[in-house]
Amino acid sequence: MSAATETVRPPAAVAPREVRPPARRPRPRVGKILLGVLGIVVSLLWVFPVYWMLLSAVTPNARLKASTPSFLPTHFTLANFTSVIGDSGFGGALRMSLMITGVTIVLVLAFAFLAALAISRWRFRGRTSFVLAVLFIQMLPAEGLFIAQYKMLSTVGESTPVLGLNSVLGISVLYTAMLVPFTIWMLRGFVAGIPAELEEAAMVDGLSRTKAFLRITFPLLAPGLVASGVYAFLQAWNEFTTALVILPAEDRQTLPIWLRSFLSASANRGIDWAEVMAASTLIAVPVIVFFLFVQGRMTSGLVSGAVKG
Amino acid sequence: MTTATPASAIAIRRRRTPATPYLLLLPAVLILLVGLGYPVYWQVVTSLQQYGMMQQFGAPPTFAGLDNYARIFSDDRLWAVVGRSIVFCLVNAFLTVAIGLGLALLMKAVHSAVRITMQVVLLLAWATPLVAAVTVFRWLFDYRSGVVNWLLVQIGLDQYQGYAWLAQPLTFFLVATLVIVWMSVPFVAMSLYAGLTQVSEEVLEAARLDGASPRQILRHILLPLVRPVLAIVLLLQIIWDLRVFAQIRLLQDGGAPVSETNLLGNFIYELGIGSQDFSGAAAVSIFVLLLTVLLAAPYVRSLMKEDAA
């Protein structure tokens, strides 16, 4: 055996030295197939929790409790979704989430857009400090602020309940403050990407500055505003920590807080995982759809400085 | 993503209207002052005051200097929480970045069909809302009908029949790590992959012609070129993994020993909302905010470089 390989090997080992590229190819190809298999295994592993959520959501709870789980939707049902949507808290939580998210998006976009315009179209005293402050503020964790925010809103609420704890406006103001910094940074990139010369050319052609801005720059900014709006939507829609502290009343919960209560309530009578997964699916699907839409913009915003450097 | 603008050129022309940028910044500055500025101020003041039960009933708070800090920082519970948070944060951050780097290199190596599959799957995991993700992991690790216990029993580990993962601190943090890594790896992998695609094909080809092995190419070309992105994503992960209040809180609902599984955010929550010790909670919050600012400094510096560009 060893003698045979020895006699065969030399020519094979010599050959690549003369015509290297063709002889080297077979090896990477085997490696590439193995890596491809690894890639598929990783994909299956990573997608499994999402698949399991969807599968459990369309399976009757009795089937989920069986001693052997089924890995395919063999007992397909939509009953879990009907009972979740019929849950007394779901409608109210959906309405709270929609209102808070709506108010937050409007405020964030308006405030961040104006500020982004200021820092990308003007150089002024204090600009660098402002940008620096914005970048630091966007890193601050909700956990380091929620006690003070809770006290602040409970004090304000004593005189003006519409801004206090459990109020849509109160938490929207906090969300806006949390989201404005990163949104300024994101929109700054979009505004900077539109050459001011376009606007100036329109002014040379006789438009006023306001009209030039509204007719030329603003339409070009639409994609940036949409992307930032989706970003604000995702953050406000998914937010858990601040909502848990600021919205303690049971009938003022947002969807993420409601999902937690739904699970805890279910735990008292042996968790109905089928319904809980249907509820998770209802919360996750709109988010996933929006996320896929905006993802590219967000990643590049977070690390573009580093990629360039 | 952003292209540099000739902003300085425009700025010179517009210097005559210096009030405009300040007016544009006004709404953003006001909302930041209300939503974040005042809470931070309140925390600084409160952390220096005696603010106990008496003050809850209307007695004016008295100045206490650094007493609260002395009290909180001589509390063994705090140090247990700090130690646990730091270890948990570092383990998660390094694990996430290591796996993310592995997947990014894998995506670079495999056939485009496999790569696209991986990207879609990673995006799905990334897009899943936090509350839904943690809920799904609670279901996967459910002691009675969870699929993880079932699989472990199938491969012959009978001791996992009915094993309660969330009841022990060590296995609790194992599940928490799995959720966090599952959720965080996609961002790291995508960012690093974007960084890797910036490495020009000519450079790699040249290295191959010079006889560099794949390992040498990795060590001496790919890794040094993505080091800036690697540093940034690691830093962001460390900052983000310090604020895992929501994940821990949601997993604790599954019957975990709360005092042994609390991390910094949860500790503040219990101190402030739970036992109404607002001065103590404010002192810990200030500590968390300072820690974040300290950690965020290099990241902010790299973003400022981009702003100057």
User: Cβ-count burial of B256 within 10 angstroms (0-12 exposed, 13-18 middle, 19+ buried)?
Assistant: buried
Contacts of A130 in chain B (CB under 8 A): 25, 29
Identify whether A7 is part of a domain.
Answer: no
Which residues in chain B land under pLDDT 70? Answer: 1-17, 51-59, 309
| Per-chain mean pLDDT for chain B | 88
- Domain membership of residue B230 (yes or no) is yes
Cα torsion through A128, A132, A133, A137, rounded to 10: 150
- Residues B35, A142: C-beta atoms closer than 8 Å: no
Are residues A155 and A221 both part of a single domain? yes
pLDDT of residue B61: 73
Q: Please tell me whether residues A262 and A135 are part of one structural domain.
A: yes
> Does A185 touch chain B if contact means CB atoms closer than 8 Å?
yes
Asked if residue A300 is part of any domain, the answer here is: yes
| A145/A32 same-domain check | no
- pLDDT value for A83: 93
Question: A131 and B306 in contact by Cβ < 8 A?
Answer: no
Q: Are residues A54 and A193 in the same domain?
A: no
- Segment-wise mean pLDDT, segments of 10 residues, chain A, 309 residues: 37 42 56 92 96 95 88 91 92 95 97 94 90 91 92 92 94 96 91 84 86 84 87 93 94 95 86 94 89 65 43
Give a yes or no: residue A175 inside a domain. yes
Please state the φ and ψ torsions of residue A53, each to the nearest 5 degrees. Answer: -65, -50
Residue A222 lies in a domain: yes
Work out how many domains chain B is built from and give that number.
1
The per-residue pLDDT for B89 is 95
For chain A, the first-to-last Cα distance in angstroms comes to 55
Q: How far apart are CA A102 and CA B223, in angstroms?
A: 43
Residue-level pLDDT at A14: 40
Place of tokens 């580093």: A306
In the prediction, which pLDDT does B52 show? 62
Cα dihedral A201/A202/A204/A205 (nearest 10): 130
Residue A8 lies in a domain: no
Residue B259, domain member (yes or no)? yes
A195 and A268 co-located in one domain: yes
Measured between alpha carbons, how far is B161 from A116 in angstroms, rounded to an integer? 57
Q: Is residue B220 part of a domain?
A: yes
| DSSP-derived secondary structure for B227-295 | HHHHHHHHHHHHHHHT--HHHHHHHHTTT--HHHH--HHHHHHIIIIIT--HHHHHHHHHHHHHHHHHH
What contacts B196, CB < 8 A, 6 or more positions away?
B104, B105, B108, B222, B225, B226
- Among the three residues A79, A96, A116, which one is the final residue of a domain in this structure? A79
User: What H or E segment, with its residue span, contains residue B63?
Assistant: strand B62-63
Scan for tokens 């040379």, then name that residue: A204
pLDDT at B54: 65
Is B284 contained in some domain? Answer: no
The shortest CB-CB distance from A39 to any of B106, B135, B293 is to B106
Residue numbers of the domain that contains A90:
81-308
The set of residues, in sequence order, having a beta carbon less than 8 Å from that of A187 and lying 6+ positions away, is A112, A113, A116, A221, A224, A225, A228
- CATH code of the domain containing A278: 1.10.3720.10
Distance CA A27, CA B236 (A): 38
Q: How many domains are there within chain A?
A: 2
CATH of the domain at B151: 1.10.3720.10
Note whether B285 contacts A180, CB cutoff 8 Å.
no
The residue of chain B nearest to residue A179, with distances taken between CA atoms, is: B32
In a domain, B183, yes or no: yes
Q: Which of residues 101-120 of A touch B (CB under 8 A)?
A: 107, 110-112, 114-115, 117-120
**Contacting residues of A for B231, CB less than 8 Å apart:** 306
Assigned token pair, A144:
């380091």
Residue B232 has, within 13 A of its CA and on its CB side, a CA count of 25
Q: Which of A79, A99, A116 is the last residue of a domain?
A: A79
Bridge partner residues of B63 (DSSP): B49
For residue A239, give the amino acid letter: E
Please tell me the distance in Å from B132's CA to the nearest CA on chain A: 5
- CB-based contact B40:B289 (threshold 8 Å): yes
Are A244 and A265 contained in the same domain?
A: yes
- Contact residues on chain B for A118, CB-CB shorter than 8 A: 20-22, 24-25
Q: Are residues A127 and A185 in the same domain?
A: yes
Give the 3-state secondary structure of residue A273. Answer: helix
Q: Cβ(B271)–Cβ(B281) under 8 Å? A: yes
Question: Same structural domain for residues A241 and A298?
Answer: yes
A261 and A124 housed in the same domain: yes
pLDDT value of residue A261 = 93
A53: nearest CA partner in chain B: B136
Question: Are residues A75 and A195 both part of a single domain?
Answer: no
Max alpha carbon distance in chain B (Å)? Answer: 79
Contact A185 B2 (CB under 8 A): no
Contact indicator for A89, A253 with CB cutoff of 8 Å: yes
Instruction: For residue B229, tell me if it sits in a domain.
Output: yes
Q: Examine the domain organization and report whether A182 and A114 are in the same domain.
A: yes
Q: Single out the residue in A36, A57, A79 at which a domain terminates.
A: A79
Q: What is the ipTM of this complex?
A: 0.87
Measured between alpha carbons, how far is B9 from B33 in angstroms, rounded to an integer? 32
The Cα of A2 is separated from the nearest Cα of chain B by a number of Å equal to 27
Torsion sign over Cα A55, A57, A60, A63: positive
- Under a CB-based contact definition with an 8 Å cutoff, are residues B34 and B273 in contact? no
pLDDT at A302: 54
Residue B184 near residue B240 (C-beta atoms within 8 A): yes
- Tell whether A294 and A167 lie within a shared domain: yes
**DSSP notation for B91-151:** HHHHHHHHHHHHHHHHHHHS-HHHHHHHHHHHHHHHHS-HHHHHHHHHHHT-TTT-HHHHH
A196/B109 CB distance under 8 A:
no
Please, what is the end-to-end C-alpha distance for chain B in angstroms? 12
pTM for the full model?
0.86
Residue B46 in domain: no
Quick check: is B167 in a domain? yes
Q: Note down the domain range covering B137.
A: 79-272
Count H helices and E strands in chain B, helices first. 17, 2
CB A186 within 8 A of CB A119: no
Helix (H) or strand (E) holding A207: none
